[in-house]
């Protein structure tokens, strides 16, 4: 009975389960920071920035207050101008697209490839114009997009390559290089739901470029270049010292947690293989994914969501309405049919529960429920 109830209540996120084993260490870190440090731009923030930079293999990480600001301020630091076009993929979280506008440039979308969420390079080439200044590749779901060809394309045309690595902390794109470390800037989010999450909003830009890092340190601090000197117009967008203290504790476990996510994903792969009407995620060869999500494509997506919900299994949709069909982005001039692959994913994709805190028996219970749905023996609906 008890084990039954456990098996039939599977959350897609469980912060209590995540924080219980870390509590003493986190509280110890908070205690030290509260008693010894500056709340704003404290030494703990510098330590986290240095540690995350070392982890990624880049010279600089600049902590900001969200992943969205990492994109916006990163693009501002790159000097994009009104009229510049920035290409990104149609199947992304809409913040990738709105960030381009907030940075003052014009978003241009390109479809993802057939069979995976990675941007389709042929579609990128088709979207190029004389005004294209940058391409943002999104390592969606924690699946890294190989960048060699895109880098060559950008280098050949003088375009800036930007990585949205908000879902891909620790993923490798190729040759063991981390997502977010290859482009001129890599944008990270520390939203609580991400693989490396704060308890609140947070974000960062990773870059090799000293000038971009320096510009970001001015931009995130109201544009201040000295105590009483304003160098340019900027928002107030700093990563809090306390959040940095928490992120340092969690960064030490990121590799272990990502490995655990891969183990759980392999269990799903094995238990869901060959089911009719279901397409499993297939990270590209040579990449190392970190399974921020475990997205499957289901021909009968919405009935499957209900089937699982009736059994206490919470799933998520990433994302049911693509950016180009959102009312807030209607002015981009796209419509239904503009990006068929992105639209198919929006209609069929469902993310099964996955987090490092999940147990293998829970993955087995979810898989059994999906199998029952896919093979038509739907089992008892628990009330």
Ligand X SMILES: *Cc1c(COP(=O)(O)O)cnc(C)c1O
State both tokens at 2.
Answer: 């008890």
66 vs 243 by CB, closer to ligand X: 66
Q: Residue 243, interface with ligand X (CB under 6 A)?
A: no
Q: Rounded to the nearest whole angstrom, what is the least distance from the CB of residue 353 to ligand X in the complex?
A: 17
Q: Rounded to the nearest whole angstrom, what is the least distance from the CB of residue 201 to ligand X in the complex?
A: 6
Applying CB under 6 A, among 63, 67, 107, 180 the residue interacting with ligand X is 67
What is the footprint of ligand X within residues 96-125 (CB under 6 A)? Answer: 96
181 vs 189 by CB, closer to ligand X: 189
What is the footprint of ligand X within residues 151-180 (CB under 6 A)? Answer: 164, 166-167
Q: Rounded to the nearest whole angstrom, what is the least distance from the CB of residue 189 to ligand X in the complex?
A: 3
Q: Residue 91, interface with ligand X (CB under 6 A)?
A: no
Listed ranges 51-59, 60-68, 146-154, 282-290: which one lies at the site for ligand X (CB under 6 A): 60-68
246 vs 370 by CB, closer to ligand X: 246
66 vs 207 by CB, closer to ligand X: 66
Number of residues that bind ligand X (CB under 6 A): 15
Q: Rounded to the nearest whole angstrom, what is the least distance from the CB of residue 169 to ligand X in the complex?
A: 11
State both tokens at 67.
Answer: 């992943």
Measured distance CA(318)–CA(140) in Å, rounded = 9
Q: Rounded to the nearest whole angstrom, what is the least distance from the CB of residue 177 to ligand X in the complex?
A: 19
Q: Residue 93, interface with ligand X (CB under 6 A)?
A: yes
116 vs 362 by CB, closer to ligand X: 116
What is the footprint of ligand X within residues 181-240 (CB under 6 A)? Answer: 189, 191, 201, 203
Q: Rounded to the nearest whole angstrom, what is the least distance from the CB of residue 297 to ligand X in the complex?
A: 19
Q: Are 186 and 139 in contact (CB under 8 A)?
A: no
Measured distance CA(364)–CA(313) in Å, rounded = 12
Q: Are 67 and 188 in contact (CB under 8 A)?
A: yes
| Sign for the pseudo-dihedral over CA of 374, 290, 70, 40 | positive
Listed ranges 23-31, 92-100, 141-149, 352-360: which one lies at the site for ligand X (CB under 6 A): 92-100
Applying CB under 6 A, among 53, 112, 136, 138 the residue interacting with ligand X is 138
42 vs 323 by CB, closer to ligand X: 323
Q: Rounded to the nearest whole angstrom, what is the least distance from the CB of residue 138 to ligand X in the complex?
A: 5
Applying CB under 6 A, among 45, 49, 61, 68 the residue interacting with ligand X is 68
219 vs 370 by CB, closer to ligand X: 219
Q: Rounded to the nearest whole angstrom, what is the least distance from the CB of residue 188 to ligand X in the complex?
A: 8
Q: Rounded to the nearest whole angstrom, what is the least distance from the CB of residue 42 to ligand X in the complex?
A: 21
Per CB under 6 A, residues contacting ligand X are: 66-68, 92-93, 95-96, 138, 164, 166-167, 189, 191, 201, 203
């Amino acid at each position: 009975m008890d084990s039954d109830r456990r098996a039939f209540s599977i959350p897609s996120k469980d912060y209590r389960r995540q924080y219980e084993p870390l509590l003493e260490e986190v509280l110890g870190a908070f205690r030290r920071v509260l008693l010894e440090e500056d709340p704003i731009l404290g030494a703990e923030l510098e330590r986290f920035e240095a540690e995350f930079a070392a982890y990624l293999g880049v010279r600089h990480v600049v902590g900001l207050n969200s992943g969205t600001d990492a994109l916006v301020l990163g693009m501002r630091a790159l000097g994009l101008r009104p009229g510049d076009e920035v290409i990104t993929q149609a199947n992304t979280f809409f913040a990738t697209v709105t960030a381009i506008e907030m940075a003052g440039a014009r978003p241009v979308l390109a479809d993802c490839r057939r069979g995976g969420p990675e941007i389709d390079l042929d579609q990128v080439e088709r979207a190029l114009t004389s005004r294209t200044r940058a391409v943002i590749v999104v390592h969606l779901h924690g699946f890294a997009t190989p960048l060699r060809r895109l880098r060559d394309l950008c280098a050949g045309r003088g375009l800036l390559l930007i990585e949205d690595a908000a879902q891909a902390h620790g993923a490798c794109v190729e040759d063991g290089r981390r997502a977010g470390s290859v482009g001129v800037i890599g944008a990270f989010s520390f939203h609580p739901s991400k693989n490396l999450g704060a308890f609140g909003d947070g974000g960062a830009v990773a870059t090799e470029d000293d000038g971009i890092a320096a510009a970001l340190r001015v931009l995130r601090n109201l544009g201040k270049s000295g105590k009483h000197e304003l160098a340019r117009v900027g928002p107030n967008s700093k990563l809090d010292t306390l959040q940095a203290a928490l992120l340092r504790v969690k960064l030490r476990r990121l590799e272990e947690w990502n490995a655990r996510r891969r183990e759980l994903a392999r269990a799903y792969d094995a238990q869901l293989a060959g089911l009719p009407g279901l397409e499993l995620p297939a990270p590209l060869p040579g990449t190392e994914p970190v399974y921020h999500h475990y997205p499957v494509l289901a021909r009968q997506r919405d009935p499957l969501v209900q089937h699982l919900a009736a059994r206490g299994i919470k799933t998520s949709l990433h994302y049911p309405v693509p950016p180009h069909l959102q009312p807030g982005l209607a002015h981009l001039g796209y419509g239904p049919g503009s990006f068929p692959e992105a639209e198919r994913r929006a209609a069929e994709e469902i993310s099964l529960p996955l987090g490092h805190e999940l147990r293998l028996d829970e993955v087995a219970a979810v898989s059994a429920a999906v199998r029952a749905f896919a093979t038509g023996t739907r089992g008892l609906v628990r009330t």
